[in-house]
Amino acid sequence: MQAEPTHSSALDAENNGTQPVCLGFDHQDRDDGTFIPNGVVPELWRSLSKSDLENHLPGVDFRHSQLWHFLEKAGVRIHRAHVAHNLASSNTWYYPLRPYGVPDLMPAFSRVERSVRREIESGKCYLVIDYAHEGFSSWMCYRIYEALSQIEFRRDRVMLIGGDLNIESSHTKYIEEHGICAPIRVLPLNYFQPLIAEHMASENFRAAHLTWQQVEQKRTRKKLYLNFNRRNRFHRLLVVVRLQKLGLLERGYVSLPNQFEGQTNERAIENEGIRFQVAPTLMRELLADYQQLSPLLPLRIDVDEMRTNHAYTHPTWPYLESWLSLVSESLFFESTPGQIFFSEKIWKPMMNYHPFLLIGDANSLAMLRQLGFRTFEPYINEVYDAVADHEKRLTMVLNELFRISQIPEKTRYDWFMGMRDILIHNFEHLKTDNLVQAFRLLDLHTNRSVVSSGATTQPSVLNIESRIKSL
């Protein structure tokens, strides 16, 4: 089971003159002394295995935060202790909550001890809501302000750290639309990229990863593209159905379950279609076309079971035996205007010298370029990236895949090698962890101003309340 260490730890680097970052936890495991995530009933936590934590569990809506790991990598000392220790100290400290999914926060807020609430009110303690692993920024804003309307905390001591790289503008839009005069603090964090960079520095990765020499020597490949799908999300089901209609399904390595966590694909289509306010005509089309796909499921590439989340592990052979990746990111129809979130899915092609088409948030490719990566024009038509309409953007991605499928086999290697410099640049840039994420957190710790850049957002009136309540 994922465990929070019991003691302070640090690298040998200088601490930039700052005090340790002190974390406070309500409970410790009585057997091994590790800390239990705040917001979780201790008895429930003790009964879980590590694999349990990779999926939704009723009653266990919080996990351990990994934010502090970034600071440790930068040489900042982290001190983990019981809440009582921090109450007796004069140091500023942090009470972390890491929601899993989009849970109701009122139960967790109500369990915060009165002594901790007094520390927050005095300004000595920060309530940190770590949502860097997810991109539902507007949904989490709704959850936070919903809870704060019932259980008030000093709002300039409530921090939301989110994986939406435009969370600052998303939050500003949210508080303006909802007339909120006392806002919390927010910070975007590109969570998965530095973790992938750390993985790329490991002995396991160096021993098993593809080299560019292997890639360039592969002049023929068995499949056109690679498309991983674990959870049965609406957009992923729509993609695979349309791949079949375009005659492209057999030309790719594609995975897709027939159910996930007890939810059939038909039920997923209905539930998510309603939740994300998908056009009824599109829902009916998908349900009808899915009947042609259903007998072929489950589709598998490398594993027989889909429950395990292989976020940091993957085989290399599918990348070596296909020409490009069709990346189905975590969020699509549920994305709100301006939101941009990158999970591990976008980084895996880069780890394997693979060009890609991206089914994700609008303007994601533009954001990747802001982050120093290169994309694939003119070899891949990327005009789809700026299209706000989700269904139209998805259609444009699949049309571009179809165009690429028409490139003659004898010239496809030349098409691929035309992207050589881009692929090598992305691989090298990805594995270089410059610790920007850590120092953005450190800026919060030392109360320095934090400046971030983001893609252009688009104005929209968000119906967040109804969408959250349908979860």
**306 band by pLDDT with thresholds 50, 70 and 90:** low
Statement: residue 337 has pLDDT above 70: yes
Top-confidence residue, 21 or 6: 21
The answer to whether residues 273 and 340 belong to one domain is yes
As a whole-number percent, the residues of the chain with pLDDT over 70 amount to 83
Structure tokens, 155: 């709002």
Q: What is the pLDDT of residue 161?
A: 93
How far are the Cα atoms of 40, 47, 71, 108, 133 from residue 43, in angstroms, in the given order?
A: 9, 7, 30, 15, 25
Statement: residue 34 has pLDDT above 70: yes
Side chain identity, residue 42: P
Statement: residue 15 has pLDDT above 60: no
* pLDDT mean over 109-119: 96
Tell me, yes or no, whether 6 lies in a domain. no
The answer to whether residues 156 and 34 belong to one domain is yes
Specify the range with the lowest mean pLDDT, choosing from 55-59, 212-216, 250-254, 443-447: 443-447
Q: What is the pLDDT of residue 442?
A: 62
The answer to whether residues 249 and 149 belong to one domain is no
The answer to whether residues 395 and 446 belong to one domain is no
pLDDT tens digit sequence for 342-389: 999 999 999 999 999 999 999 999 999 999 999 999 999 999 999 999
The answer to whether residues 175 and 217 belong to one domain is no
**457 band by pLDDT with thresholds 50, 70 and 90:** very low
Tell me, yes or no, whether 7 lies in a domain. no
The answer to whether residues 141 and 168 belong to one domain is yes
The answer to whether residues 306 and 185 belong to one domain is no
The answer to whether residues 401 and 425 belong to one domain is yes
Query: In whole angstroms, what is the distance from residue 62 CA to residue 51 CA?
Result: 15
The answer to whether residues 374 and 257 belong to one domain is yes
Number of domains in the chain: 2
Top-confidence residue, 47 or 232: 232
Q: What is the pLDDT of residue 164?
A: 95
Query: In whole angstroms, what is the distance from residue 355 CA to residue 55 CA?
Result: 30
pLDDT tens digit sequence for 420-452: 999 999 999 998 865 555 556 666 655 543 333
Tell me, yes or no, whether 136 lies in a domain. yes
Statement: residue 14 has pLDDT above 50: no
Q: According to the 3-state scheme, what is the secondary structure of the chain?
A: CCCECCCCECCCCCCCCCCCEEEEECEECCCCCCEECCCCCHHHHHCCCCHHHHCCCCCCCEECCCHHHHHHHCCCCEEEEEHHHHHCCCCCEEEEEEECCCCCCHHHHHCCCHHHHHHHHHCCEEEEEEECCCCCHHHHHHHHHHHHCCCCCCHHHEEEEECCCCHHHHHHHHHHHCCCCCCCEEEECCCHHHHHHHHHCCHHHHHHCCCHHHHHCCCCCCEEEEECCCCCCHHHHHHHHHHHHCCCHHHEEECECCEECCEEHHHHHHHHHHHCCCCHHHHHHHHHHHHHHHHHCCECCCCCCCCCCCCCCCCCHHHHCEEEEEEECCCCCCCCCCCCCCCHHHHHHHHCCCCEEEECCCCHHHHHHHCCCCCCCCCCCCHHHHCCCHHHHHHHHHHHHHHHHCCCHHHHHHHHHCCHHHHHHHHHHHCCCCCHHHHHHHHHHCCCCCCCCCCCCCCCCCCHHHHHHCC
The answer to whether residues 243 and 184 belong to one domain is no
* pLDDT mean over 462-471: 37
Q: What is the pLDDT of residue 394?
A: 97
Structural domain range at position 88? 21-193+436-469
Tell me, yes or no, whether 2 lies in a domain. no
pLDDT tens digit sequence for 126-175: 999 999 999 988 999 999 999 999 999 999 999 999 999 999 999 999 99
- What's the chain's average pLDDT? 86
CATH code where residue 317 lies: 3.40.50
pLDDT tens digit sequence for 197-212: 989 999 999 899 999 9
Tell me, yes or no, whether 68 lies in a domain. yes
**75 band by pLDDT with thresholds 50, 70 and 90:** confident
**32 band by pLDDT with thresholds 50, 70 and 90:** confident
**48 band by pLDDT with thresholds 50, 70 and 90:** confident
Q: What is the pLDDT of residue 448?
A: 45
The answer to whether residues 147 and 175 belong to one domain is yes
Tell me, yes or no, whether 104 lies in a domain. yes
As a whole-number percent, the residues of the chain with pLDDT over 90 amount to 67
Top-confidence residue, 430 or 9: 430
Statement: residue 459 has pLDDT above 50: no
* pLDDT mean over 247-253: 98
Tell me, yes or no, whether 319 lies in a domain. yes
* pLDDT mean over 399-411: 97
The answer to whether residues 400 and 262 belong to one domain is yes
Tell me, yes or no, whether 10 lies in a domain. no
